Amino acid sequence: MAVEVREQVVEAAPAYDVARVRDDFAIFEQKIHGNPLVFLDSAASAQKPRQVIEALRHCYEEEYANIHRGVYYLSERATEAFEAARVKVQRFLNAGEAREIVFVRGGTEGINLVASSYGRAHLGPGDEIILSHMEHHSNIVPWQILRAEKGVVLRVAPIDDDGNFLLDEFEKLLNPRTRLVAITHASNALGTIVPVKEVVKRAHAYGVKVLVDGCQAVVHMPVDVQDIDCDFYVFSGHKLYGPTGIGVLYGKAQLLESMPPYQGGGEMIRSVTFAATEYNVIPHKFEAGTPHIAGAIGLGAAIDYVSELGLDRIGAHEQSLLAYATERIGEFNSVRMYGSAKHKASILSFTIEGVHPHDAGTILDRQGIAVRAGHHCAQPVMERFGIAATVRASFGLYNTVEDVDALAAGVATTLDIFG
Amino acid sequence: MFDDLRELYQEVILDHSKRPRNFGRLEANNRRARGHNPLCGDILSLYLVIKDGVVEDVAFEGNGCAISMASASLMTEIVKGKGEAEARELFERFHRLLTSDDADPDLLDLDKLAVFAGVREFPVRVKCATLAWHTLTAALDGQTDDVSTED
């Protein structure tokens, strides 16, 4: 019997060329205290490639006017560019429709919008909201504000000592009074990646809506909101190598339509008389006032940038750095690491015995190494581990093996100075 | 290498941060205050026994970075036995040491506190060094609210 042999030509993907990537970031040309910049704080805010800066320049120098109102050429061009950015975000998240993408100032405003609009309209006394133990303050405080106003109850889904999210423990919290789950996709303090698709599945079984805080996730991996099936998803532009002051709230169209406006003003109305106002359709209903036009366009450029590199390849590059860093930093007997979840983003949180993180941050800084030292705006999870602060090194698409070596050398210097 | 770091984290400072003096609660206090640096989470409670306008006894507890702990420890040593006005005046001179480039540590008559001169090269750390002193001022003022470096 003849066997058909089919030859398969597999083209090897080109290796991730981090040196070329770094050339896109002018900030690496400078020295910090006489040393090359080792930037390990992208989880707080990422550096910007020339492509994003060029998009901002192009917007302001060549295509700038207010949007959605002018009948003239420049306004049309600016409106087109702004709405094209919305479509880029839609594709980036694989949202079903562009009108499900609301531009906001950042992840924080996205959550506040949902708490304020959806929360006030749909939640009441005794209704329960489930958060995880490792939420950023921005996914805790808006719900506490709602609690003070509406009497909702906040429940906290636990994590284990490695920082793993405990899906079954979470499920036990679901009950007929549960109305909403507001949960991080990836923890900024521990790096833990939460199985949000499974969270959504179990929450939806109880008819509970789910908001996912994707600020630390969209930068490391491809995200598909239709696959996750979450009801809301938020992220910030500035952590995704885009401008500050711009972020995204994705919401299912039907939900956004059922929600009252967040702020009143221009843009969000269809007609206004002193007797009554007819609101605009989504997403414009939630975009009162002149938005951050250049910011949205810059975010679009950032999305083009990471998409061209490929989120899968960026993630793989960062994971190899995380593995190497975990090994190198783990070699120090006096270092204790926090967060070793099975699935984690490229975030390394640690303390050095006898050295306060703030002091370590100062010593590393003098060697040109930028890390975050503190509670990372996630005090409840710090408390969970009985610590006030950690040193956090986070790895982005431009970091290198040499950066990890510099961090290890920096920790050694820190120990040396502290005797 | 790292001369400025070694100047900042010199032996006296490391020693006081690792083994702070007058550390603990002073039950017999008649003035106390709590200080907090919300930026880095440093927190300390200061207890004073003031008699006839003189700091008769002082103690503190809390946790924070080496600079804030050493500053609190050295402060308790130096203000013990001093008059209230003298203590406040000392803080003014200490503050000048940390913030003004032309201040001559020798002329400021700061005794042991001169070891903090290195902080001047690290402006973001000035608040760490002054937290204990702000708390002392609040305690002397009879303030009962927490004092924050951000107020």
Which site among A359, A364, A382 would you substitute to test the B interface, given the most B Cβ atoms closer than 10 Å to its Cβ? A359
Cβ–Cβ gap A358/B40 under 8 Å: yes
Shortest distance, CA A216 to any CA of chain B (angstroms): 22
Residues B142 and B31: beta-carbon distance below 8 Å = yes
Distance CA A261, CA A269 (A): 10
What is the sign of the dihedral through the CA atoms of B58, B59, B63 and B66? positive
A-B Cβ pairs (cutoff 8 Å, strict)? 46
Model confidence at A3, pLDDT cuts 50, 70, 90, reads low
Distance CA A401, CA B95 (A): 42
Residues B37 and B61: beta-carbon distance below 8 Å = no
Identity of residue A349: S
**Domain ranges in chain A with CATH number 3.90.1150.10:** 310-417
Shortest distance, CA A348 to any CA of chain B (angstroms): 19
Per-residue pLDDT tens digits for A10-64: 566 678 999 999 999 999 999 999 999 999 999 999 999 999 999 999 999 999 9
Please report residues of A whose CB lies closer than 8 A to that of B65: 356-359
- Of A358, A20, A387, nearest to B126 by C-alpha is A358
| Gyration radius of chain B's alpha carbons | 14
- The reply to whether B40 touches chain A by the CB within 8 Å rule is yes
Cβ–Cβ gap A388/B41 under 8 Å: yes
- Of B104, B106, B99, B102, nearest to B122 by C-alpha is B99
Residues A129 and A115: beta-carbon distance below 8 Å = no
**Domain ranges in chain A with CATH number 3.40.640.10:** 52-308
Which site among B65, B120, B131 would you substitute to test the A interface, given the most A Cβ atoms closer than 10 Å to its Cβ? B65
CA atoms within 13 A on the CB side of B107: 4
Annotated domain spans of chain B = 3-142
**Mean of the pLDDT values across residues B131-140?**
96
CATH class name, domain A310-417:
alpha beta
Question: Distance from first CA to last CA of chain A, Å, rounded?
Answer: 76
Residues A10 and A310: beta-carbon distance below 8 Å = no
Cβ–Cβ gap B65/A363 under 8 Å: no
Per-residue pLDDT tens digits for B33-72: 999 988 777 899 999 999 999 999 999 999 999 999 999 9
CB contact set of B143 (below 8 Å; sequence gap of 6+): B33
Per-residue pLDDT tens digits for A361-404: 999 999 999 999 988 888 899 989 988 899 999 999 999 999 99
Residues A406 and A356: beta-carbon distance below 8 Å = no
Please report residues of B whose CB lies closer than 8 A to that of A388: 41, 63
CATH class name, domain A52-308:
alpha beta
Per-residue pLDDT tens digits for A157-177: 999 999 999 999 999 999 999
Identity of residue A392: R
Residue written as token pair 């109850």: A153
pLDDT(A180) > 60: yes
Residues A191 and A341: beta-carbon distance below 8 Å = yes
Cβ–Cβ gap A417/B122 under 8 Å: no
Residues A163 and A116: beta-carbon distance below 8 Å = no
Please report residues of A whose CB lies closer than 8 A to that of B124: 362
**Mean of the pLDDT values across residues A103-131?**
97
Instruction: Answer yes or no: A215 catalytic.
Output: no
Dihedral, CA of residue A345, residue A307, residue A210 and residue A383, to nearest 10: 20
Residues A301 and A308: beta-carbon distance below 8 Å = no
Per-residue pLDDT tens digits for A274-316: 888 888 999 999 999 999 999 999 999 999 999 999 999 999 9
3-class DSSP string for A258-283: HCCCCCCCCCCEEEECCCCEEECCCC
Q: Which CATH number fits domain B3-142: 3.90.1150.10, 3.40.640.10, 3.90.1010.10, 3.20.20.100?
A: 3.90.1010.10
From the CB of residue A207, how many other CB atoms can be counted at a distance below 10 Å? 10
Identity of residue A386: G
